[in-house]
Structure 1
Amino acid sequence: MNFRIFKYLIPGMAVILMTGACSGNGANGVNGNAASGSSGPNSQAPAGKEVKISFWHIYNTGPMKELYDKLIDEFEEAHPNIKVDHAGYGIFDLGDKLATALAGGTGPDLAMDGIDGGQLKIKAGTIVNLQPYIERDGVDTNQYFPLLIDIMKQEGNGDLYRLPLETDVRVLFYNKEAFREVGLDPEKPPTTWEELESYSDKLTKWNDKTKLLDRIGFAPNLGNFWYWTLAWTNGVDFFDDQGNPTLDTPENIEAAEWWVKMQNKYGTKAFSAFQSQSGSLGFDPFVGGKVAMEVSTNNLVSEIKANQPDLEYGIAPIPIKKNNATWSAGFSLEIVNNKDQAKADAAWELLKFLTSTEIQKRHHIAGNALVGNRLAATDPEFMKDPDWKTVTDQMQFTRFLETPIEAQGWGGQMWKNVQAAVAGSMTPEQAIKTSQKETEDLIANYKKTS
């Protein structure tokens, strides 16, 4: 078996986004796909006859909707023969809608989708090979973050079928005022697991009257941490080079034990009451000052600016046991194979426009997004902000969760088992060993049925 790895966005979400990939939409495709008899893209950008294309994305509210409305107007003005019908949907609504449309052969011409998980769609011919366009127009893919391009080249056997639009990284947010309150230096965030636990103990505040939590120092289940990110900081790899699962290592068990210990410091009753109380805030409890330290994505900055602009906070790398690591997810743009060369050509022009350096700078400004275009994300003006520099610096340490095609869903199963250990229905070691067995079973079942 040729072991191929591709990554996924959020546990379970890539399955939603890829459902339509098996629709068999590859017959009579465009742009040199395996299923296509076409000679590829036109020799130059489309001109003359009007072409109408559709574009689906997730920017349906707020500043990002305003930006994309404006960008589409600008694009149409620069390309008078191309008209764009664009629509924004909720992140999970888009996944469902796109899967249904692809299955029925009625997808949009340009789609925003997970930055990973394109392998099945490529195999089925439901998305267009971008390599001929890239080579025709001399697009320099070095302008994008290398990891993102590498992932997409891997799934396309060296060709690019998608280009990155936006990604993220997980970092440690910490409340500087809370640090000062308990005698911690606000310019020295924790750097190790041990320091994170020690700081958390100092920062946690109990209400003497109610015996409930007024403030949590740190709890791994809060924010956007996800267990595998912690495991990576302990040197864990979940698969070897041959694709065999290696979950049940001492390092992974140690990480699970630490996660469970940190999460259970507060007791189930107090933590549940805290979640209920903080949930009434309407925004992240870190933003409301109810959590002193939290691992989350860089996108938390937008929530802070919108709800507590005066919050004094810092951003730092995730504390580690052995090595620096973080986790990324995100979105790409892909041309759906609707068997219409003129529409594919027009969709390429829009894709190229939206991923260009200047437009991606505007994308970052509007949404505080870590855009896929490296030159835009690391523009010298943006890098004057030390917090933003910390965010972009993490791209050298970031990883995407590896998901062999033979073991779809293994990460979600491991997450479920770790949470079962938090709840006390199994030990951390049992959680990891169970995850190893379940992953082995997934691979074995795949081999039987493929």
Structure 2
Amino acid sequence: MKRKIWSVLTAVILILTLLAGCSGGAGEDTGNTAQSPATNDSGSGQTNNGDAQPEPGNDPVTISFWHIHSDGDMKDTMTELLADFMKQHPDITVNELGINFWDYWTKLSTAMAGGSGPDLAMNDTSTLQTRAESGAILNLNEFIQRDSFNTEDFFPVLIDKMKYNDGIYGLPSDTDVRVLYYNKTAFREANLDPEKPPANWDELAEYAEKLTVLNDSNLIERIGFSPALGNIHLWMLAWANGGDFWDDEGKPTYDRPENLEALQWMKTVQDKYGVKAMSAFNSQASALQHSPFIAGKAAMIVDVNNLYTDIKKYAPDLDFGVAPIPYTKQPATWSAGFDYEIVNNHDDKRAAAAWELLKYLTSPEVQKKIHQVSGSLVSNMKAAKAPEFMADPVWEMIVGQMEHSRFIEYIPASPSWHAELDQVVQSVLNSGVDPQKALQDAQKNAETKLKNYVQTK
């Protein structure tokens, strides 16, 4: 499901996270308490001023932990893991609350704003900065230093997203990364070498044309490749072409020539199919229960690592390969993800207990269990790169792409800029808007937002 929800996720919670800036003392938790030999005690009631105080006590303490796993295998796994944690820490009782993904972000933001948030919360990595800046979550530096906790165990791109000013405000849970999936059977049918996927944009466009199959009505029976399918976006192609949409000072650079080249390439590939044929194909694809790649309707697609899990489950006999996303100037892909954050509930004792749970959930052993159940790309490299997982060449290639991955920039003046950019792309691909004009208009819009934001500061 993750590959379909990241853009929705950021659109829903970028604004909601701003509500969490005034979290007060924690209220009564509504979650289920897993069985534990510990008794309940809400803690010492001591307060802090935003930095975690790493002085755990020996008296029993009860903490709450919220996450997005409300049912299914991951909910069962999380409950089992928490029971194991409490056996190891008999002085800590964990009240667990798993909330449906679509309801989670509103409930979490509302609870934090009202002072009744959990002690430890799963949250969206891309918006951590807003919560760190407002003081809604704790700086973990003192805990990390006290325990000599090694943050280098995590993928660098992920731990970097945990930083704000000189502090680390969370630990990454799991992430994803985008790669090119290609159908080897379709390659053979098109007289293409199934062991040589396209490496650059020219080859990708050439292969796409050879792999496309039309029916008697001149409509698409199997599409070779479309930039409108899967999880490919303009910013990623622009990065691969040496472009970018924001400079180091947070100023927009939408109209850079490298960005225009990327958008023009997307339009050129899409125009080969025509609006009518693509519309008909999209209607068929939307009716499928799975990705059009799994259904054999797309010969190549850029998508997240979770597609591999779906292939193994729904199309185990599919003969396919994975490869880096074709590029022009430099390898590029992008990631999104979740992390765990200690909510600033002004209680040192509960914060210290939450830190113990945070360490446990991100440990190699626990992260390996999570991967085994969900197939997700966990953040701890010792787990993600465990020999038993890396023996799979598909997984090895997927993990290797984290070296080239980036997160979408968080821009306070325009937190949903990437979602708006997707709309710009759609206007070019589907409505015939000129690419250069589209980016020029987007540049002006971004400049206006930045100007308005500066005036409000």
TM-score above 0.5: yes
Q: Where does residue 147 of structure 1 map in the other structure?
A: 157
Q: Where does residue 103 of structure 2 map in the other structure?
A: 93
Query: Structure 1's 328 and 124: CA in aligned 2 closer, same or farther, altered over 3 A?
Result: same
Q: Where does residue 234 of structure 2 map in the other structure?
A: 227
The answer to whether the 8 Å contact 1:403/1:411 transfers is no
The correspondence of residues 118-157 of structure 1 with structure 2, limited to 5 A, is 118-153=128-163, 155=164, 157=165
The correspondence of residues 114-263 of structure 1 with structure 2, limited to 5 A, is 114-153=124-163, 155=164, 157-208=165-216, 210-263=217-270
Deviations 1:353-379 (A, max 9, x none): 000111111111211111111121112
Query: Structure 1's 94 and 24: CA in aligned 2 closer, same or farther, altered over 3 A?
Result: closer
Q: Where does residue 53 of structure 2 map in the other structure?
A: 40
Q: Aligned with 2:59: secondary structure?
A: coil
Query: Structure 1's 170 and 29: CA in aligned 2 closer, same or farther, altered over 3 A?
Result: farther
Q: Where does residue 449 of structure 1 map in the other structure?
A: 456
The answer to whether the 8 Å contact 2:23/2:116 transfers is no
Q: Larger deviation: 276-285 or 320-329?
A: 276-285
User: Structure 1 residue 394: deviation in Å?
Assistant: 1.0
The answer to whether the 8 Å contact 2:247/2:253 transfers is yes
User: Structure 1 residue 191: deviation in Å?
Assistant: 0.6
User: Structure 1 residue 14: deviation in Å?
Assistant: 4.5
Q: Aligned with 1:406: secondary structure?
A: coil
Q: Where does residue 406 of structure 2 map in the other structure?
A: 399
2 CA distance for matches of 1:323 and 1:349?
40
User: Structure 1 residue 19: deviation in Å?
Assistant: 2.9
2 CA distance for matches of 1:75 and 1:54?
13
The correspondence of residues 358-377 of structure 1 with structure 2, limited to 5 A, is 358-377=365-384
| Unpaired segments ≥5 residues, structure 2 | 1-5, 27-44
2 CA distance for matches of 1:149 and 1:256?
31
2 CA distance for matches of 1:375 and 1:130?
21
- Which of 74, 80, 89 aligns to 1:70? It is 80
2 CA distance for matches of 1:302 and 1:16?
32
TM-score scaled by length of structure 1: 0.91
The correspondence of residues 313-332 of structure 1 with structure 2, limited to 5 A, is 313-332=320-339
- Which of 269, 287, 292 aligns to 1:280? It is 287
Q: Given residue 95 of structure 2, which amino acid in structure 1 is its aligned partner?
A: D
| Unpaired segments ≥5 residues, structure 1 | 1-6
Alignment of 1:55 with 2:54, yes or no, is no
Q: Given residue 53 of structure 2, which amino acid in structure 1 is its aligned partner?
A: G
The answer to whether the 8 Å contact 1:8/1:117 transfers is no
**Size of the alignment, in residue pairs?**
434
The answer to whether the 8 Å contact 1:414/1:431 transfers is no
Q: Where does residue 3 of structure 1 map in the other structure?
A: none
Q: Where does residue 336 of structure 1 map in the other structure?
A: 343
Percentage identity across aligned positions? 47
Q: Where does residue 29 of structure 2 map in the other structure?
A: none
Q: Given residue 340 of structure 2, which amino acid in structure 1 is its aligned partner?
A: L
User: Structure 1 residue 190: deviation in Å?
Assistant: 0.5
Deviations 1:131-167 (A, max 9, x none): 11111222111111112112222x2x12111001111
Q: Given residue 79 of structure 1, which amino acid in structure 2 is its aligned partner?
A: H
Deviations 1:375-429 (A, max 9, x none): 2111222111111111111111111111322332222222211111112252111
The answer to whether the 8 Å contact 2:20/2:110 transfers is no
Q: Given residue 299 of structure 2, which amino acid in structure 1 is its aligned partner?
A: A
- Which of 304, 307, 317 aligns to 2:314? It is 307
Over aligned residues, Cα RMSD in angstroms? 2.2
User: Structure 1 residue 292: deviation in Å?
Assistant: 0.8
